[in-house]
Amino acid sequence: MSKLVEAPARTLRRGVLAAAAVAAMTGLVLGGLPATASAKTDPVQKSLDKLVNKHKFPGVMASVRDADGNTTDYVAGVASLKTKAEVPVDGYGRIGSASKMFTAVVLLQLAGEGKVKLDAPVERYLPKLVRGKGIDGRKITTRQLLQHTAGLPNYTDLIPDYQKIRHTTFSERRLVDIALAKKASFAPGTKWAYSNTGYILAGMVAEKVTGQSISRLVEKRVIDKLGLEETYWPGKGVETLRDPHPHGYLSVGPKKPLLDYTKMDPSWGGAAGQLVATPSDLNRFLVGLQDGKLLKPKQFKEMTTTVKTTFPPTWNWRYGLGLIKMKLSCGGTAIGHGGDIHGYETRDAVTPDGRAVTVIVTSLPQSEAAGNAVLATVDSALCADS
């Protein structure tokens, strides 16, 4: 099943989602245009249908904002493989590493306030904590944590069986200890390698200098500041998602049925990947960030100053501080940060003129082609009216 709904330029709230779904089902959109006619020619809807039909994602949610602030929400597939229920329009999904943008914003705000020095050693804030084989917090900076140039082992690569820890609540210290049990990947500042460990430590730095939890800091300094009513940090032990949401699925092996992985303890994501949001709310975050509502110009420049990465060259991605800069097929660039977490994959971006898109699929890609198809959907949405 597939449908698209044109939403008002302002926030689409839970109270009007039911009306939006009814409008789509009856062949109408909230702008008065026939949805059936639009769906046949709309390139974004075609891309979402392809993700379901060809690449076997159970369901897809997407929200596209044009340069004038008008939003169109899309869905494809089913919300549940068991019941075949429709995917909710602009429903909730786990956004994984897209959470890194929020954590980085908090650290950069603290830097702008003089409470954190980006190039000071982590030792200043977390004395004697960051120690291991070739790992020394006296030689690692907060900037390197946010930039993935600290050389820290990635703790998420070191958890052998996610099924066993699915309902386990992790502390930040336990996650860090998993990483510190391994030797350094390289000397700080000499290479780039993606490491969630850096973001757990960055969150701990923010907590140390403020006396508040990173979850509260993200809520107060980012979510509340932008009025993101559909973005939240799950509380301790909360394994379910707010309604409405599609189920998330996990592939447990070739030719095996997808496992429903909607219910899980996301604490192992922490400051690196614990947030939940709707596609339209994530777009609002991206636009607010770019419009200067969260960071001073100096700190935004720091965030968007990028280095080379080890991502596939065809992706054309460079990394800043909790932010990815990507080249578009139609020319120009966009910024954002996707996220992969069991059950959901998120890809998002915003262009300098305010076009934004977020796509959430309800399983991790089972092939390189499937992953590239999600990226292509984001690219086509941003390039459609360029």
3-state secondary structure 238-266: CCCCCCCCCCCEECCCCCCCCEECCCCCH
Q: Give me the pLDDT at residue 255, please.
A: 82
Phi, psi of 140 (to 5 degrees): -115, 135
Q: Give me the pLDDT at residue 1, please.
A: 44
Confidence of residue 384 (pLDDT cuts 50, 70, 90): confident
DSSP 242: P
Position 319 pLDDT exceeds 50: yes
Q: Give me the pLDDT at residue 38, please.
A: 55
Token duo for residue 35: 């949805």
Q: Give me the pLDDT at residue 40, please.
A: 63
3-state class (DSSP) for residue 18: helix
Q: Give me the pLDDT at residue 196, please.
A: 98
- 27 found inside a domain: no
Position 329 pLDDT exceeds 70: yes
Position 5 pLDDT exceeds 80: no
Confidence of residue 252 (pLDDT cuts 50, 70, 90): confident
- 333 found inside a domain: yes
Confidence of residue 187 (pLDDT cuts 50, 70, 90): very high
Confidence of residue 41 (pLDDT cuts 50, 70, 90): confident
8 Å CB contact between 116 and 106:
no
CA distance 97 to 169: 18
- 186 found inside a domain: yes
Q: Record the pTM.
A: 0.91
- Mean pLDDT for 143-151 is 98
Confidence of residue 94 (pLDDT cuts 50, 70, 90): very high
Shortest CA distance to 360 belongs to which of 24, 30, 87? 87
- 226 found inside a domain: yes
Confidence of residue 10 (pLDDT cuts 50, 70, 90): very low
Quote the domain boundaries for residue 321: 91-365
- Mean pLDDT for 89-107 is 98
- 374 found inside a domain: no
Position 8 pLDDT exceeds 60: no
- 78 found inside a domain: no
Sign of the dihedral through C-alpha 101, 102, 107, 112? positive
Q: Give me the pLDDT at residue 3, please.
A: 47
CATH classification at residue 210: 3.40.710.10
- For residue range 334-367, list pLDDT tens digits in order: 999 999 999 999 999 999 999 999 999 999 999 9
- 5 found inside a domain: no
Least confidently predicted of 40-44, 52-56, 211-215 = 40-44
Shortest CA distance to 261 belongs to which of 272, 243, 248? 248
Q: Give me the pLDDT at residue 386, please.
A: 66
Mean residue pLDDT of the chain comes to 91
What is the number of domains present in the chain?
A: 1
